[in-house]
Structure 1
Amino acid sequence: MSNAAPARRLAVIGAGWAGLSTAVRATEAGARVVLFDMARQAGGRARSTPQDGLDLDNGQHILIGAYRETLALMRQVGVDVDQGFWRQPLALVSPDGLGLRLPGGPAVPAFVRGVLGWSELPWRARLALLAHAARWRLGGFRCPADWSVARLCEHLPRAAFDALIDPLCVAALNTPAREASAQVLLTVLKEALFGPPGGADLLLPRRPLQDLLPGPALAWLQSHGTLWRPGCRVQHVAPQAGGGWQVDGEAFDAVVLACSAIEAARLLASLAPEWSSTAAALAYQPIVTVWLRHPGLHWPQAMMSFPAQATPGLPAPAQFGFDLGRLGLAPDTFALVISGAAEWVARGTEDTVQALRRQLQHAFAGSTPAWQDERVSLLAVRTEKRATFACTPDLHRPSASPLPGLAVAGDYVAGPFPATLEGAVRSGRLAIEGLLQA
């Protein structure tokens, strides 16, 4: 990055992961940054808040080895990444011990070896999965923009689709496969499963999210002169005559909107009405996270994958579960994640928790010790109704540069990736590079 400052004074509105990335990169480039956020805590939708003596993340997040910019940013602000995460090769293993396990090493051989060794998947499904992956790779991981994931995989055996593609789709895009963008999923597969060695590795947080970026980044910024204004909801941005911008009447040379799409649309409604309409039109998918306590129970591994509708007639809301005790976060505590959770949000918390209890009791019926529902207590339920934008085919996302001297950073701006932490962090870098180029 150039050492020339993008502006003498820069306003960054929003202190989520996109805003923190923006502020760090702007400071590195020589700008004097003022960081605003309507909340009193940095981190946005990926933060930690205390409950019953624990720092619970606002939903259980997973990073992967392909999140190179996120990991680099963490290291830059002083985070020991090796100590902060439990790292392991990709493993989508159910409570019965079955599932896909990728070995280490170069991506393509690892994927081939992992699929060929997936003994519970019929040979026809394994070979078809490898054939589809080969075609996607030879085609440059491109497909028509209007294809859904279901359309992309219509000739893939159902066993392979249910065992791998569907869980990867809901984990990465937070959108059901019948509605999800095939092109975005192919981009994710290219980066993770077929990128540099280790790209598909799972990185499970061993510390609260607040300690892995928001806290250290804010401390780094303040030590480098950033002014932090928490609890400050910006009401008005406007261009100044002769150049520059005003934020609630205060003069800046440039502005980066790193707030939510809804807030950005509000701030730009009169200045960039077409951009504002595009941002406001984004649809969203919820994520529900449920924390349960079961004294004395430990899972065989830190992360479990739960097959969809494993038993006919038995609802299976959670796709993934995490043993927080094995991660060193909270003994006897388990986080269950329901992605693409619109159906369960509509059913309500009570029905969701009851269905989840039944799902776990059945999933661990053959385990020793078994999941004993009478010993389980409910710790917390958190519903993020706008967890991610709905990553649908041919989606029109707002640009990162709606006006001269004003950029937008966020996981929702136009780009090839779904709404992920890596997408947010990358958008912060791109926002500053855009201002530098301008």
Structure 2
Amino acid sequence: MSTQAARVAVIGAGWAGLAAAVELCAAGRQVLLLDMAHQPGGRARSLAQGDLLLDNGQHILIGAYRDTLALMRRVGASPEHLLHRSPLTLRYPDGSGLVLPPGPALLSFARGVLGWRTMPWRDRVALLLQASRWGLQGFRCDPSLTVQALCRGLPASVMQALIEPLCVAALNTPADQASAQVLLTVLKDALFGPRGSADLLLPTAPLQALLPDPALAWLQQRGTEWRPGARVQQLHRLAEGWQVRTDEGQDDVQGVVLACSANEAGRLLAPHAPDWAETAQALRYEPIVTVWLRNPAHRAWPEPMLALQADAQAPAQFGFDLGALGGPANTLALVISGAAPWVAQGLPTTVAAVRRQLAQAFAGRSEFDWDDAQVELVAVRAEKRATFACTPALQRPSADPLPGLRVAGDHVAGPYPATLEGAVRSGLAAARALITS
């Protein structure tokens, strides 16, 4: 095989592709990194909005994201400086909500629930008993169960204030449709993992600064060839490796990490692995809508993130005070996960509903100065394929469909939902599999 063919191609420069590229490069491989976009980051990137740089959605990290945090450090992006860390807090504008104190995870959860003064005592006990049962069962359940079915015995107050917000935040799928097993896995790693696993890590810089830009700079300093705006048209199998064909030409490589979207990966692999392609392209998706509002009379929130009561008339589940996180002053980001019903109604309707929701949530509260007539819409964005729909017993495509080729992305088979940590872990696993083979 020629010297040129000894390269490894990473197709896709999202967080999975960047993780794979860094791992390959560190192992001494020559990396060719391609992406149809002109900037790295995939679905977790920053985009210009007038004179502002806004992320394509407000992402939340948690302390359990050990591989993401390690990758950031590896490429010179300090989590200690780029992330605001605090114990898990689901506080609502009226002051109610769950706040976990610092300490070992199990003790912290128990103390937090027992101290949840706005939750009826019986409901707190019911939550602790149910969490104990989940733990005794090894956080395993019938894979066909939805989150709603799993939690059927819990009080409605616990479902509304805790389970449903956690479910939609972690799985981006409503509780009556979401996989109970995947949520249990998330709870095990976060609420019942090592000390600090449940901590909230909120970005204090644009997403580009967390990983995409530092990782790309790190890779290019070590000889990685970066080709933005290059869509791969075909993959062709060789006797020893693969040929990657783009509009600009072709490259012979020893191995391939396919780190693009499931649909794009399915298109490229359909001639080689039709069953795999069918599984990948059968995934359904859930959108996320983010609304940015500027309030000239804004007062700093008691927490940089607030939970919001969401229902059929109130779309947003979470709000973020960007000024408190080092972003633009007086600017709020409101996040609507599992947003399919609102996307169907249209973005203008969604924005109007968010404004009404905040006006009602803050009405009569002296700590919030809210005059809707003075509040300005900065931007609204809908990621229509933000994550796959994380439903029970979902069949996800494997990571190793063909020799010399690995697939990376938060959509590949695994125990986790579509998260940054899931993407990074899949990228690392794909690279290590190629290295050892």
Residue 29 of structure 2 corresponds to 31
- 1:370 CA displacement: 2.9
The answer on whether the counterparts of 2:286 and 2:386 sit within 8 Å (CA) in structure 1 is yes
Q: Does 1:427 align with 2:426?
A: yes
Q: How does the TM-score come out when normalised to structure 1?
A: 0.96
CA distance in 1, matches of 2:117, 2:164: 19
Counterparts of 1:314-393 in structure 2, within 5 Å, are: 315-368=313-366, 369-393=368-392
Counterparts of 1:15-414 in structure 2, within 5 Å, are: 15-240=13-238, 242-248=239-245, 249-298=250-299, 299-309=301-311, 315-368=313-366, 369-414=368-413
CA distance in 2, matches of 1:199, 1:80: 18
The Cα offsets for residues 39-95 of structure 1, whole Å up to 9 and x where unpaired, read as 000000000011121110010001000001001000000012111011100000001
The answer on whether the counterparts of 2:243 and 2:253 sit within 8 Å (CA) in structure 1 is yes
CA distance in 1, matches of 2:321, 2:10: 37
The answer on whether the counterparts of 2:305 and 2:320 sit within 8 Å (CA) in structure 1 is yes
Sequence identity percentage: 64
Amino acid at match of 1:254: G
Partner SS state of residue 252, structure 2 = strand
Aligned residues: 427
The answer on whether the counterparts of 2:145 and 2:179 sit within 8 Å (CA) in structure 1 is yes
Amino acid at match of 2:240: G
CA distance in 2, matches of 1:215, 1:185: 31
- 1:437 CA displacement: 3.4
The answer on whether the counterparts of 1:116 and 1:126 sit within 8 Å (CA) in structure 2 is yes
- 1:243 CA displacement: 1.4
CA distance in 2, matches of 1:194, 1:238: 46
CA distance in 1, matches of 2:365, 2:272: 60
CA distance in 2, matches of 1:84, 1:188: 24
- 1:366 CA displacement: 2.6
Partner SS state of residue 24, structure 1 = helix
Partner SS state of residue 323, structure 2 = coil
CA distance in 1, matches of 2:76, 2:280: 34
The answer on whether the counterparts of 2:297 and 2:369 sit within 8 Å (CA) in structure 1 is no
CA distance in 1, matches of 2:134, 2:28: 43
Q: How does the TM-score come out when normalised to structure 2?
A: 0.97
CA distance in 2, matches of 1:193, 1:126: 16
The answer on whether the counterparts of 1:167 and 1:319 sit within 8 Å (CA) in structure 2 is yes
The Cα offsets for residues 252-306 of structure 1, whole Å up to 9 and x where unpaired, read as 0000100000100000011000000000000000000000000131222210000
Amino acid at match of 1:261: A
The answer on whether the counterparts of 1:69 and 1:426 sit within 8 Å (CA) in structure 2 is yes
Amino acid at match of 1:408: V
- 1:316 CA displacement: 1.1
CA distance in 2, matches of 1:117, 1:160: 14
CA distance in 2, matches of 1:19, 1:366: 48
CA distance in 2, matches of 1:437, 1:127: 49
Amino acid at match of 1:306: L
CA distance in 2, matches of 1:381, 1:402: 38
Partner SS state of residue 386, structure 2 = strand
The Cα offsets for residues 168-192 of structure 1, whole Å up to 9 and x where unpaired, read as 0000000000000000000000010
CA distance in 2, matches of 1:417, 1:137: 18
The answer on whether the counterparts of 1:128 and 1:157 sit within 8 Å (CA) in structure 2 is yes
The answer on whether the counterparts of 1:16 and 1:44 sit within 8 Å (CA) in structure 2 is yes
The answer on whether the counterparts of 1:96 and 1:366 sit within 8 Å (CA) in structure 2 is no
CA distance in 2, matches of 1:338, 1:427: 26
The Cα offsets for residues 94-135 of structure 1, whole Å up to 9 and x where unpaired, read as 011110000001000000000000011111110010001001
Superposed CA RMSD: 0.9
The answer on whether the counterparts of 1:322 and 1:336 sit within 8 Å (CA) in structure 2 is yes
Partner SS state of residue 235, structure 1 = strand
- 1:371 CA displacement: 1.5
Residue 3 of structure 1 corresponds to none
- 1:8 CA displacement: 3.3
Partner SS state of residue 140, structure 1 = coil
Any gaps of 5 or more consecutive residues in structure 1? 1-6
CA distance in 2, matches of 1:160, 1:110: 18
Partner SS state of residue 326, structure 1 = helix
The answer on whether the counterparts of 1:66 and 1:191 sit within 8 Å (CA) in structure 2 is yes
Amino acid at match of 1:302: P
The Cα offsets for residues 12-58 of structure 1, whole Å up to 9 and x where unpaired, read as 00000000000000101111000000000000000001112111001
Amino acid at match of 2:242: W
CA distance in 2, matches of 1:303, 1:357: 17
CA distance in 1, matches of 2:114, 2:47: 43
- 1:410 CA displacement: 0.2
Residue 4 of structure 1 corresponds to none
CA distance in 2, matches of 1:433, 1:231: 27
CA distance in 2, matches of 1:86, 1:268: 41
The answer on whether the counterparts of 1:59 and 1:289 sit within 8 Å (CA) in structure 2 is yes
- 1:161 CA displacement: 1.1
